[in-house]
Amino acid sequence: MYEYKVVPAPAKGIKAKGVKAPEARFALGIEQAINELASEGWEYLRSDVLPSTERVGLTGSETHWRTLMVFRRATAESAAPEVATAPSLMARVEPMLTAAAASAAVSSMVPEGDGVAEAEETAETEADPDFEEGNEETRPA
């Protein structure tokens, strides 16, 4: 079981020494936001852009698109069962293939016949198809 946290993505970049381009400043802002929440145990999941309807004036409204970052972390309830079941997953039993089953599997993969195509069959498939002449107006474009 997980719990989720949704925070608004930074709208502006962050000034830092050696970071000059607007794209790099914006990326630094996103990086710092993700690292800050990761230090609290939150795992970055994804970013979403969702509509938000907001009031404008007395009677009007506008739709603004908001970028949100989604984080998740395991709840304390679900962490305990995962640890208890992990050792049982480690013990995996592989099925054994017997000699009779192996020969049956190999014989089923061998094609029938001698593998040589008939000369008559290839001549028929390589021949050009016949087309009928017709009114060009009725032909599809």
Residue ranges covered by each domain of the chain: 2-76
Res 77: pLDDT: 77
pLDDT > 60? residue 113? no
Torsion-angle region of residue 135: left (phi > 0), alpha (psi -120 to 50) or beta?
beta
Q: In what order do the strands lie in the sheet with 2-8?
A: 2-8, 60-74, 43-56
pLDDT > 70? residue 125? no
Give 70: exposed, middle or buried? Use CB within 10 Å, 0-12, 13-18, 19+: middle
Query: What's the N-to-C CA distance of the chain in angstroms?
Result: 57
User: Which residue has 């009779």 as its token pair?
Assistant: 100
Which tokens hold the place of 140? 């599809």
Mean pLDDT value of segment 99-120: 52
Cα(68)–Cα(8) distance, integer angstroms: 4
pLDDT > 70? residue 28? yes
Amino acid at 79: A
Give the model confidence (pLDDT) of 85-96 as tens digits: 445 445 555 555
Mean pLDDT value of segment 119-125: 51
Buried b (16+ CB within 10 A) or exposed e, 78-109: eeeeeeeeeeeeeeeeeeeeeeeeeeeeeeee
Higher pLDDT, 119 or 76: 76
Mean pLDDT value of segment 11-39: 93
Average pLDDT, the chain: 75
Higher pLDDT, 61 or 99: 61
Cα(127)–Cα(81) distance, integer angstroms: 67
